[in-house]
Amino acid sequence: MSDRILIIKYAQFMFYRQWNNFKEYANGRGIGIIGDIPIYVSNDSADAWSNREILTIDPEIPAPEYVAGVPPDYFSKTGQLWGNPLYRWRDSSGRLRDDTFNWWSKRISRAISLCDIIRIDHFRGFDAFWSVKYGEETAVNGKWVNGPGQELFNRLKDDLGDLPLIAEDLGIITRRVKKLRDGMELPGMKILQFAFDGGPDNEYLPHNVKTENCVLYTGTHDNDTTNGWFYDPDMPIEKRDYIMAYMGMNDWSDFHWRMIREAYASQAALAVIPVQDITGFGREFRMNTPGTTEGNWTWKLTKGELTVNQMDKLRQMAEIFSRIPAGTPDDPGEDEIEIADEF
C-alpha cells in the first residue's frame, strides 16, 4: 500500500509540474485558461472521506442522508439525481459554518492557482439547492433548501480578493439567483442552443443579450454538438425554419459556422466555442448526456482535427467583431505604435 501511495504522489508531482509549465507557456502568449469547479464532491472522494463533518453524511452507515440533484427540466422529465452528499452550510443558530467556509475558501484558492478564471458549476445551488432523500430513485420528490447566499461570497472576497469566477447560472433561475450573481458582479452564461424556444423574447437570443458581463456558448459539455442538435431529424421543421430565418440562412450548409458567427457577433464579453463545433462534428462526438451514466466523457481531440483553415476563419471573425485583445500578434499595443508629440 505504501508503494502505491508513493506512485500516486509521484504522478501528482509530475502532473502539477507539467501543468505549471503549460500554464506559464500559455499565459506568456496572452492565453488565459478557464477551469471548472463542480459545486459538489463525490461520496467516495478524498474530500468526502476527510471532511464528513461538513457534508450530509450519516457517520453510522456511512452514507448520505440527503443528496444533490435538480428537479425536472430541459434535460430530463424526472430531474437529475446526482447522488452527491449536500453541504452542511449553517449551524444550529443559522450562521454560516466556519469549517464549511474554510474548506470552500481553500478549494477556490487552489483552483485559482491552477487556472486564470474558474467556471463555478451549478451557481444557483448557492442560493437554493434541490435536496433529495437518499434512496429515492429519481429527483422528482425533492425540495428546495436555502444555500449560503451572499454571505459565502462576501467572506470569500474578504479572504481571497477579487473572485475571477464565471457563474454557471443555467436551469431554474429566479430573481434571487440573479441578484446573487449581479451583486458579486459575476458574469453569467448564455447558451445559443437554448435560444430558439419560446419566441422572440428568449433571453438567450443574441439580440436580447443586453450586457457584456456574460459568457456566450454555442453549447456546453452537456449539450449535443451544434451540428448534432441542428440536423437532428426529430427537430420540428417549424423550429428549424425559425432558426434559419433568424440567422438569415438560405440553406442548411455549414450551420456550425453560422452559430459561431452569432456567438462572436453578440455583445457578450467572451464567446466560448466547443472544439466539436469548430470541427463541425455530429452528435456521435457529444461529450456528455445529463442524467445518464454510460458512454460519457469518452471523446478526445486527436492530432490533425484542427486545421489552419479553421483557425483562419476564427481569426477573421474575431477581427470583424473586435474579439482580438490589444497586444496580440499582428495587433500592436500602444507601446508599439509611433505617436507624434504634436501635429
pLDDT tens, position by position, 51-69: 999 999 987 777 899 999 9
Question: 15 in a domain, yes or no?
Answer: no
Question: 9 in a domain, yes or no?
Answer: no
Q: Which residues lie closer than 8 Å to 136 by C-beta, 6 or more apart?
A: 81, 142
In the chain, % of residues over pLDDT 70: 95
pTM (two decimals): 0.87
Cβ atoms within 10 Å of 140's Cβ, excluding its own = 15
Longest dimension (CA), the chain: 81
Instruction: Please give the average per-residue pLDDT across 66-77, as a whole number.
Output: 85
Rounded Cα distance between 283 and 298, Å, is 13
Q: Which residues lie closer than 8 Å to 58 by C-beta, 6 or more apart?
A: 64, 65
Indicate if 67 and 124 belong to the same structural domain.
yes
Rounded Cα distance between 45 and 54, Å, is 14
pLDDT band at 328 (very low <50, low <70, confident <90, very high): low
- For residue 10, what is its C-alpha cell? 509521484
Whole-Å CA distances, 65 to 83, 99, 136, 148, 238: 10, 19, 11, 19, 46
Instruction: Please give the average per-residue pLDDT across 314-337, as a whole number.
Output: 74
Indicate if 120 and 253 belong to the same structural domain.
no
Per-residue model confidence (pLDDT) at position 327: 65
Indicate if 40 and 168 belong to the same structural domain.
yes
Per-residue model confidence (pLDDT) at position 341: 41
Average pLDDT, the chain: 91
Per-residue model confidence (pLDDT) at position 291: 73
pLDDT band at 312 (very low <50, low <70, confident <90, very high): very high
Query: Active-site residue among 116, 159, 222, 305?
Result: 222
Indicate if 253 and 269 belong to the same structural domain.
yes
Tens of pLDDT, residue by residue over 134-152, are 999 999 999 999 999 999 9
Indicate if 42 and 137 belong to the same structural domain.
yes
Per-residue model confidence (pLDDT) at position 329: 58
Question: 334 in a domain, yes or no?
Answer: no
Indicate if 122 and 192 belong to the same structural domain.
no
Question: How many independent structural domains does the chain possess?
Answer: 2
Question: 283 in a domain, yes or no?
Answer: yes
Indicate if 202 and 308 belong to the same structural domain.
yes
Indicate if 280 and 202 belong to the same structural domain.
yes
Indicate if 76 and 43 belong to the same structural domain.
yes
Per-residue model confidence (pLDDT) at position 325: 78
Indicate if 304 and 274 belong to the same structural domain.
yes
Instruction: Please give the average per-residue pLDDT across 153-178, as a whole number.
Output: 94
In the chain, % of residues over pLDDT 90: 83
Flag whether pLDDT at 158 surpasses 70: yes
Indicate if 180 and 194 belong to the same structural domain.
no
- Among the listed ranges 49-53, 129-133, 309-313, which one has the minimum average pLDDT value? 49-53
Indicate if 121 and 62 belong to the same structural domain.
yes
Rounded Cα distance between 165 and 176, Å, is 18
Task: Report the half-sphere exposure of 328 (CA within 13 A, side-chain side).
Answer: 13
Are 34 and 116 in contact by the 8 Å Cβ rule? The answer is yes
Flag whether pLDDT at 75 surpasses 90: no
Flag whether pLDDT at 286 surpasses 80: yes
Query: Active-site residue among 168, 169, 262, 277?
Result: 168
Rounded Cα distance between 308 and 198, Å, is 38
Tens of pLDDT, residue by residue over 174-221, are 999 999 999 999 999 999 999 999 899 999 999 999 999 999 999 999
Domain of residue 140 covers 32-186
Based on the residue annotation, tell me whether 284 is a catalytic residue of this protein.
Answer: no
Based on the residue annotation, tell me whether 137 is a catalytic residue of this protein.
Answer: no
Rounded Cα distance between 183 and 343, Å, is 46
Based on the residue annotation, tell me whether 121 is a catalytic residue of this protein.
Answer: yes
Query: Active-site residue among 36, 65, 116, 121?
Result: 121
Torsion 240-210-260-251 (CA) sign: positive
